[in-house]
Chains A and B, each alone.
Chain A
């Protein structure tokens, strides 16, 4: 009886005040993580690809963006978007969307690194073979390199999703009613429920993350090349750089065609 009474507001943890009010709780965490990873994938993939470009005006802005975002705490990014974007540019933005946008910006930088590592991990011979069959380098990228690269990226994406899902809990600081916030609200309004509140918070996050990380591990075993922890510029250069450092351009070969695929750190 006691247990049932304690769990009577489980709906609040899962959906917030959904049928009557705004959606919230664990469901909101999932929505935010999905939205963020979906939107940021586009930008992340573009940036990861352009980071490999040989054009300085494409490459360096991307590197700067990625490195700055990667070394700023998520809270700082959230603050920038929540407090100062409206202040700088006027207009207002709801908490939810400012949280999603800041998560997107944060995730885009990491996704760019994943995409870049994935492209670099495809052996150089693939590109050579594609080019030698007479494909344009964009076709070679689209039909030969990227399909293989994405296959290798899938486990990293899943484990990044887990980490992003955990990071959505940070948005509680600006007042998004997600699982952490619901737990805090309940434990402050009804101090006798503090244990249940924390237990439900923990179980909620744990279930989703455990399922996803198991999926990631299974995928890694199936496809497995690298994990998220190893993705960063230094490691990528050393471990995944299967290409020679110097540009070797054979006679009659398009210099531009090779540019994308040789070492970008000149």
Chain B
């Protein structure tokens, strides 16, 4: 159970970070000027959003080693922690599509004048994104982003389908070994509720800290 909690936390932290990175990348692709990049980003989102996360977990666990060259695939299958790696990959690609969608709608909330101001300040395109657009995108998209992260946390429980030794899997092991399933499941459920509560509180606090800036943005828009 202890290792279960550890692996769940590991999954949560890594997938949050990687999916934020990947999601940001896709979101930037989707708002870029190049039509090709835009199409690629849209294709990614359409594919990954419309297929359940569980499918991607199974895909990365069962099919992905088959698609790779045989030597690498066999090595991956033999790797003890491959389920965790597959879980991270699957959750990341699934969550990143939602994150990119949320960030894109966050981009729409930023007034165009911000971009113009950045250009007139002589920033390069990279600098525009990193110093002006992205921070504001995150801030504008924070509430739905937080919900999504909580959702992602709940989705880590799906990793039990691919035998990643996380909390839900651990409770099932305890159930099958000691038949004390109710206690274990109750404890796990409480853990999920508590951590989700903590995450929501953190996000709300973060929102409150950043709130003043949001109102100033909307003010400058009108």
Contacts and interface: CB of A to CB of B under 8 A. Distances in A.
Given A80-B185, A180-B54, A74 B49 contact: no
A178 B59 CA distance: 17
Chain A residues touching B, majority SS: helix
A202 B55 contact: yes
Contacts of B168: 73, 75-76, 79
A78 to B, nearest CB: 10
Given A76-B157, A232-B143, A206 B204 contact: no
Given A205-B51, A213-B50, A235 B185 contact: no
B53 A166 contact: yes
A172 B161 contact: yes
Contacts of A76: 157, 168, 185, 188-189, 192
Interface residues of B, number: 44
B51 A170 contact: no
Chain B residues touching A, majority SS: helix
User: Which of B50, B62, B98 lies at the interface centre, i.e. has the most chain A CB atoms within 10 A of its CB?
Assistant: B50
Given A71-B154, A71-B192, A79-B185, A206 B161 contact: no
B195 to A, nearest CB: 8
B213 interface: no
B175 A83 contact: yes
A67 B66 CA distance: 41
Nearest to B188: A76
Interface in B106-154: 143-144, 147-148, 150, 154
A49 to B, nearest CB: 22
B217 to A, nearest CB: 15
Interface stretch (A11-19, A193-201, A249-257, A258-266): A193-201
Interface of A: 68, 70-76, 79-80, 83-84, 87-88, 162, 166-167, 169-170, 172-173, 180, 183-184, 187, 194-195, 198, 201-202, 205-206, 209-210, 213, 229-230, 232, 234-235, 238
